[in-house]
């Protein structure tokens, strides 16, 4: 959560990516929300802390204005729940990423039918990638908040119901 004194909103194109791969605003590491617009319509916003993506990033459909995706970041790495929706508001996907690696998820078509379900197993090629990310990052990634944990449990229950162990 951003403190009142350090929080600000700026246009994303006013941020500059430094050689150290941190985002700067007015020469300083940016803390706040960067907003993207297209033709005066909001199409994205990303939360930054000390120059790195940290918190929620949201995307809106440029035509309808509907929220179509939310991704959670910890230390510039997608980590936690990623949700997406069709412009109608129906769910499109619910996925969990662990240090940038998709570990489980469900994808629906516009009619609400499950078209994909996924749970990372040791046999999957990305399992080794996840292990390397865990070794590399260790315990340096912030734990999930209560809402993220609840969504993770919801996704686990849904996958069990669908028969994906």
The values of phi and psi at residue 26, to 5°, are: 55, 35
The pLDDT tens digits for 118-150 are 999 899 888 888 888 888 776 656 667 788 888
pTM listed for this prediction: 0.83
* Number of C-beta neighbours around residue 108 at 10 A: 19
- pLDDT for position 36: 97
Give the residue-averaged pLDDT of 91-103: 94
Structure confidence by residue, pLDDT tens digits, 148-161? 888 888 888 888 88
The proportion of the chain whose per-residue pLDDT surpasses 90, expressed as a percent, equals 62
Cβ atoms of 14 and 25 closer than 8 Å: yes
Of 120, 56, 108, give the one whose Cα is nearest residue 82. Answer: 56
In the prediction, which pLDDT does 135 show? 83
pLDDT tens profile 47-63: 999 999 999 999 999 99
Confidence at residue 81, expressed as pLDDT on a 0 to 100 scale: 94
For residue 7, what pLDDT is reported? 62
């Amino acid at each position: 959560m951003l403190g009142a004194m350090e929080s600000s909103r700026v246009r994303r194109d006013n941020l500059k990516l430094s050689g150290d791969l941190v985002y700067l605003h007015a020469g300083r590491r940016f803390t706040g929300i960067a907003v993207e617009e297209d033709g005066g319509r909001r199409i994205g916003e990303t939360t930054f802390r000390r120059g790195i993506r940290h918190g929620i990033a949201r995307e809106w459909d440029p035509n309808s204005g509907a929220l179509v995706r939310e991704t959670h970041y910890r230390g510039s790495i997608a980590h936690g729940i990623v949700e997406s929706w069709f412009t109608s508001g129906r769910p499109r996907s619910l996925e969990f990423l662990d240090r940038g690696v998709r570990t489980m998820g469900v994808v629906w078509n516009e009619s609400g039918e499950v078209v994909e379900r996924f749970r990372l197993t040791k046999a999957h090629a990305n399992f080794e990638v996840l292990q390397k990310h865990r070794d590399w990052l260790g315990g340096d990634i912030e734990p999930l908040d209560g809402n993220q944990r609840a969504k993770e449990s919801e996704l686990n229950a849904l996958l069990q119901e669908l028969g994906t162990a």
